[in-house]
Structure formats: structure tokens, C-alpha cells
Amino acid sequence: MIDHSLVVLNSLSGKKEPFRSIKPGYVGMYVCGPTVYSNVHLGNCRTFISFDLIYRYLNHLGYKVRYVRNITDAGHLENDEDTGEDRIAKKARIEKIEPMEVVQYFTVDFHQILKKFNNLPPGIEPTATGHIIEQIELIKKILKEGLAYQVNGSVYFDVLKFNETYQYGKLSGRKIEELIHNTRKLDGQSDKKNPQDFALWKKAEPQHIMRWPSPWGDGFPGWHLECTAMSTKYLGESFDIHGGGMDLKFPHHECEIAQAEAINKKPPVKYWLHANMLTLNGKKMAKSTGNNILPMDIFTGKNDKFSKPYSPQVVRFFMLQAHYTSVLDISQDALDASEKGYQRLMEAVNKLAKHQSGELKGEFDTDKWLKNCYAAMDDDFNSPLLIAHLFEAVKFINLIIHEDHPINYNQWKILNKMLPVFIHEVLGIGVEKESSSLAKEKLKQTVGLLIDLRNKARINKDFETSDQIRNQLKEYGIHLKDGKEGTNFTFD
């Protein structure tokens, strides 16, 4: 284990706290996964990339991390107030397919997208439907504690009763009086005693196809319950890290705390970490508003938001250039800057690997640099600061290469080893393959040069050369088209 003074921003205290895992050397981390009723948008991906960074760094420090990230495949209704259709059942109804087909399709899509972003898979990826028995057991326990009530085949968590002994709202900083004041009065249609109460089990109406038998009749679990069931099953009654996007703090995570405390009478989580939102045009990316972009649309360039494609590694790099707790707005300018930065970083690493080492010492304190890099990551996983330090090294590398200085062997050894470690292992930024935008850009420049040479040949009436260029390029699948504006080209 590398001995480090890692501090993390704990949403529960609102403060940065030294990270001490419950069991030395081991970390239990649970992150709320996607509800698989639609393609993940880029905003969702940001949250999963943020936790991938955290997972990678903890692994890098030598912790044995058990990372659990669930798949929500039942119980997530359209509205937070426990009303509306199940999101998956609704999609199945609209598409006239089985709910399991919806779940399968979007789970596969989710995995494929995260793989493109170079995310590591979690160690356990449990599903809500695979843990119905566990959820029913939890409800029985909460009922036994007198902190839930049964009405017409549904079971609700009694928030006011819970709040008499515990504190509801401590994660999101809400006071129960404010909650009572701010929530809409019940309209007489609801079975709930109070509007703050939330469903643990909902009775399934006859048309509701996603249903399971229970002691309270056929129904389905409330959304918040699955995460309590799965996190405590795999990580224990108290575990180290619980993560998710900021928007899940309330009510989802608040309800998770209440459920777990009602059963185990102690806080379930030591450090609550929340990733901030990705915005587009200054507004939160969200499925419901249409203000979002799908990862594949950005990779292929087929979208009406940006004029060119960006590779998964460039988009990942762009995201890591902001701290995970800051809001990040996506724009063409920002992506262009990240693309350039990514290329500069990769080029420097490649050049350094090939550079001769010798005796001359350059003006660069490698030990201090290394300390700074770790200090950045130890300060609540500050990836933008780490990247700034990586660019200090890039500047130095470019300088010595430009001036053809040899580099001191020890400096070379540290940089040549640690730059790739930080870039690939810690930040998880991969190397683009052939189809990378860098390769494409270079190809464009090369073809442009050949077009210039062909034009010169034509001016000089050297048609043999100009035809040779055209025909040879055609053989490579590059077609020149002469027009009024000059010569353009297309690829096969």
C-alpha cells in the first residue's frame, strides 16, 4: 500500500475529511447505477467516469476495493412522489416488447459505452429484480421496528415517526419542518399518511406487468429500497463510500439512509461522495428535457450540437479536466481545447520514451513534480490539478526535445514510468486507435500536401505526375474531386 494522506469531500458533513477505510487496506464502494430504460446520455457518463477515477485511484494506492454498482431494472417510477408508471414497463408498453428486452438492450448499450470510455467494470453489478427476496426481508424488518405501515397492499416508510428517533434530511441539509411546509398536500388519492413518506412496496394494479408476490399481495419494490438491499448485502451494514450524482442526494440517498438506520440503527455509509452535473448550454443534461447528447452521437459527429466528431478518450479527458464536484459545461470550444491537450500529452509521452538519456540535468525537479501529482489526487481526487502538473512535464519534455538536450537518466526514468501511470492507470485515459482524430487530422494534412503537389504539376503541364497522384490515391480509397472552389477529397 502506498502511504497517503487522502482527503475526500464528505457530503454528509460538507467537509473534506481524511479518508480512513473501516477495515484497513480494504474499501467497500457502492455507486447508484443507471435505470435501464433508455440510452445513457453524456451526463450519466460523467458521473460514472467520476467514480471510475475514484475507483482507479484507490486501486492505485493499493486498497483492495469491492466496487458494487447496481442496475435498476424495476421499481423506478416516473415521479419522485411514487406516482406514474414504472419507467421500464412504460418503455416496454410503447415499444410493444417485454420489459426484459428493454432491460437487456439498454444494459448492453450502457456497458458498451462505458467500455469505450475506458471505464473499469465494477466487481459486482447486481439488479433490483435479482434481489426482490432481500427487499421483502428489509420491509419486514422496518415494519417490525414500527417505522413503516401497510395500506391497501402497499407499504410506506413513516418519515415523521423515523424522525422522532433519527434525523431525516441530514445528507441533503433539509429540515423536517421545511419538508412538511414545502411538500404538496395529499390529494386524497394517495394511501400515504404524510406526503414525505415513501414507498417500500407498491401494490401492482392488474395492468402492471412487473409484479412479484409478497406478504402484502402482488406488487413491486420502491426505488430507494433496492440500493439499501444490495449495498448492505455485498458491503455490510456499514461501508466506506456511497456515490452517485448530486441529483440523487434527495430523496434517493436520504431515503437509503433512513431505511438502513431503521434496520441497523447505525449510519450505513462513512463517506458520501457526490459527482456534479454535466450541463449543455448552461442547463443540466437530462433525458426528460431533451437537453442532452448521446455518447455515440458525439463519437460519430452525427448531431446538431457540434460540427465534428470527438473520440471517447478526448471526451473523457475533457471531463477529467474539471473536478468531479464542479459543474461542467460542454461546448465545442472546450472539446477542441481538450482534443489539442490530449494530442500534446500523448505526443510528449511518445517522444520521451524514444529520447536518449544522458548526463545533462535539465531544469526540472522530478521528485517535487511527483509529490505534486500525488498531492493533487490526494486532495479529493483533483484530476484537473493533476493534469496541470502533467502539462508542466510536457513543457519540459518538449523543451529538451526541441533543444536536443539529453535528459538526466533518473529524471527520464521517473517521467517515463510515471507519466503513463498517471495518464492510463489513474486517469484511465486510453490511447486512440488508428481511427483517432489525430490520425485523421494527419491524413487530411498529407492528402492536402499531395493535392498541392498535383496542382503544381498541372500548372507545369506535368500530367504524368498529376495523374499518378490522383490514381495512386484512388487505389488507397481516397478520391479527388475538382470543383470551382478547388480540389476536395472523400474517403471510401
Would you tell me which residues interact with ligand AMP (CB under 6 A)? Answer: 32, 34-35, 43-44, 46-47, 244-245, 247-248, 277-278, 284-286
- 32 binds Zn ion per the rule CB under 5 A: yes
Rounded to an integer, what distance in angstroms lies between the CA atom of residue 243 and that of residue 240? Answer: 10
For the record, the C-alpha cell of 227 comes out as: 440500493
CB of 328 to ligand AMP, least distance (A): 8
Among 49, 88, 200, 227, binds Zn ion (CB under 5 A): 227
CB of 224 to ligand AMP, least distance (A): 12
Q: Which does 196 bind (CB under 5 to 8 A by kind): ligand AMP, Zn ion, none?
A: none
Judged by beta carbon, residue 202 or residue 284, the one nearer ligand AMP is 284
Residues in the chain: 492
For the record, the C-alpha cell of 52 comes out as: 471510475
Under DSSP, is residue 269 helix (H, G, I), strand (E, B) or coil? Answer: strand
CB of 188 to ligand AMP, least distance (A): 30
Rounded to an integer, what distance in angstroms lies between the CA atom of residue 300 and that of residue 177? Answer: 50
Judged by CB under 5 A, the stretch of 220-228, 261-269, 357-365, 388-396 that binds Zn ion is 220-228
CB of 69 to ligand AMP, least distance (A): 10
3-state secondary structure 133-158: HHHHHHHHHHHHCCCEEEECCEEEEC
Q: Which does 245 bind (CB under 5 to 8 A by kind): Zn ion, ligand AMP, none?
A: ligand AMP
Judged by beta carbon, residue 47 or residue 436, the one nearer ligand AMP is 47
> What stretch of H or E contains 473?
helix 463-475
Judged by beta carbon, residue 119 or residue 366, the one nearer ligand AMP is 119
- 155 binds Zn ion per the rule CB under 5 A: no
Q: Which does 91 bind (CB under 5 to 8 A by kind): Zn ion, ligand AMP, none?
A: none
Judged by beta carbon, residue 155 or residue 278, the one nearer ligand AMP is 278
Judged by CB under 5 A, the stretch of 24-32, 150-158, 368-376, 484-492 that binds Zn ion is 24-32
DSSP state of 362: P
**β pairing state of 64-69 and 26-31:** parallel
Q: Count Cα neighbours of 391 within 13 Å in the Cβ-side half-sphere.
A: 13
Backbone conformation region of residue 72, classed left if phi is above 0, alpha if psi is from -120 to 50, else beta: beta
Q: Which does 47 bind (CB under 5 to 8 A by kind): ligand AMP, Zn ion, none?
A: ligand AMP
Q: Which residues contact 442 (CB under 8 A, 6 or more apart)?
A: none
Judged by beta carbon, residue 172 or residue 411, the one nearer ligand AMP is 172
CB of 392 to ligand AMP, least distance (A): 29
Q: Which does 227 bind (CB under 5 to 8 A by kind): ligand AMP, Zn ion, none?
A: Zn ion
Judged by beta carbon, residue 61 or residue 71, the one nearer Zn ion is 71
Rounded to an integer, what distance in angstroms lies between the CA atom of residue 461 and that of residue 458? Answer: 5
Residue 405 phi, psi dihedral angles, 5° rounding:
-80, 140
Q: Rounded to the nearest 10 degrees, what angle do helices 99-116 and 87-95 cross at?
A: 110
Using alpha carbons only, give the angle 152, 85, 252 rounded to the nearest 5 degrees.
Answer: 85
CB of 327 to ligand AMP, least distance (A): 9
**β pairing state of 328-330 and 357-358:** unpaired
CB of 132 to Zn ion, least distance (A): 16
Which residues lie across from 67 on neighbouring strands? 29
Q: Is 263 exposed, middle or buried (0-12, 13-18, 19+ CB in 10 A)?
A: buried
Rounded to an integer, what distance in angstroms lies between the CA atom of residue 254 and that of residue 250? Answer: 6
Judged by beta carbon, residue 218 or residue 247, the one nearer ligand AMP is 247
CB of 294 to ligand AMP, least distance (A): 13
For the record, the C-alpha cell of 438 comes out as: 489525430
Q: Which does 204 bind (CB under 5 to 8 A by kind): Zn ion, ligand AMP, none?
A: none
Judged by beta carbon, residue 32 or residue 330, the one nearer Zn ion is 32
Judged by beta carbon, residue 253 or residue 389, the one nearer ligand AMP is 253
Q: Which residues bind Zn ion (CB under 5 A)?
A: 32, 227
